[in-house]
A = this chain, B = another copy of it.
């Protein structure tokens, strides 16, 4: 459940301005959410919610990163999405979650009661439109990700790096919050292929990998060429 690996920080703590930028990035004006939620900290790999659990809360990343995923019977895991600071996840139109969520690193999340949002949406159509827009934006991102999944390993990794840089608002250096296994499960590849592809891209001079979590984009054009 929610409280297990989490620790409440400050109820109704006002949003810091740093959220503003990311909220606008999100494109659905989620800044209004900030006053409604409670901040909580989650340990690395802590469960945020499980598949099938009631959708009691909606989450917004304040710091750190989260992942949503499903697992197949054979144990393989597909990560649907990563969520970076300013991004919202866990919002469903149904009563239960249809995927699970975990903290990628130690993270701070804004936790908002879903019922408050839903009832507010019944009175204020702009709130209703925000909920719809948030879900629609996720749909668009997942559809875009499907396009990535049908490509070659090199192209998938290049797309991933560009996507992360874009969403983190940087251009030439990214600090990955997630492991190679996470990347593999997001891109539908194995960790060995991820590793090999990164060294391969490093060999062509497209990127540099000073430490395994830090990646420099040395030749964005070469990456974009793979991005299609």
Q: Which residue of B lies closest to A75 (CB)?
A: B228
How many Å from the CB of A143 to the closest CB on chain B? Answer: 5
Copies of this chain in its oligomeric complex: 2
| Contact residues of A: prevailing secondary structure | helix
Residues in B neighbouring A149, C-beta threshold 8 A = 146, 149-150, 188
How many Å from the CB of A151 to the closest CB on chain B? Answer: 8
CA distance A146 to B186 in the complex (A): 10
> Cβ of A70 and Cβ of B143 under 8 Å apart?
yes
Q: Which residue of B lies closest to A91 (CB)?
A: B136
CA distance A217 to B192 in the complex (A): 38
Residues in B neighbouring A145, C-beta threshold 8 A = 146
A153 within 8 A of B: no
Q: Which residue of B lies closest to A225 (CB)?
A: B73
Q: Which of A3-11, A29-37, A123-131, A194-202 contacts B (4 or more CB under 8 A)?
A: A123-131
Please, what's the 1-or-0 string for A100-124, where 1 marks a CB less than 8 Å from any CB in chain B?
Answer: 0000000000000000000001110
Residues in B neighbouring A140, C-beta threshold 8 A = 94, 98
Also in contact, A132 and B93, with CB within 8 A (given A70-B143, A72-B228, A122-B125): yes
CA distance A143 to B70 in the complex (A): 9
A147 within 8 A of B: yes
Residues in B neighbouring A209, C-beta threshold 8 A = none
CA distance A139 to B135 in the complex (A): 8
Residues in B neighbouring A128, C-beta threshold 8 A = 121, 125, 128-129, 132
Which positions in A face B, CB cutoff 8 Å? 70, 72-74, 76, 78, 80, 92-94, 98-99, 121-123, 125, 128-129, 131-133, 135-140, 142-143, 145-147, 149-151, 188, 228
